[in-house]
Amino acid sequence: MKIQISTDYAIRILQYLHLNKEQTHTAMSVAQAVGVTYPFFIKIANLLKKNGLLVSIQGRNGGYGLGRSADQISLYDVFVCVEGEMQINRCLSGEPCTKGTHKDCNLHRVFYDLQSKVISELSKQTIADVAG
């Protein structure tokens, strides 16, 4: 399992906005601050806005800000926003097991426990926690 670079940058964008919350920031200034291209920032920002994690304010003094408090945004919220619900193995999504069984497979139980632990840990950590 590998977290996408988009998820990593989404977290960094939210961290930056949390640490600099006294003002709104232009797309270009956030992109430069976190080290992403402008088009990549826009792609990530649109996902974050769609899920309520980021807001954009139009107008002369507009820009981007957090959609809710940083202590109310978990790392799992960001993960789901960018990557969708976690499924570390296809049998956990209801698809047929490669063994031809479902839920009574020992490997299924191992994957289920692992996935549950990863989700739990990501859900415990917030943007405020990891912002420093």
Q: What is the CATH number of the domain that holds 35?
A: 1.10.10.10
Q: Is the separation of the CB atoms in 43 and 35 below 8 Å?
A: no
Contact indicator for 51, 81 with CB cutoff of 8 Å:
yes
Please report, in tens digits, the pLDDT of each residue of the chain (132 residues total): 788 999 999 999 999 999 998 888 999 999 999 999 999 999 999 999 999 999 998 888 789 999 999 999 999 999 999 999 988 777 777 666 666 655 567 787 888 899 999 999 999 999 999 997
- For the full predicted model, state whether its pTM sits above 0.95: no
Please name the amino acid found at residue 1: M
- Confirm if 81 and 9 have CB atoms less than 8 A apart: no
**Full domain range(s) for residue 64:** 5-130
Give the count of domains, the chain.
1
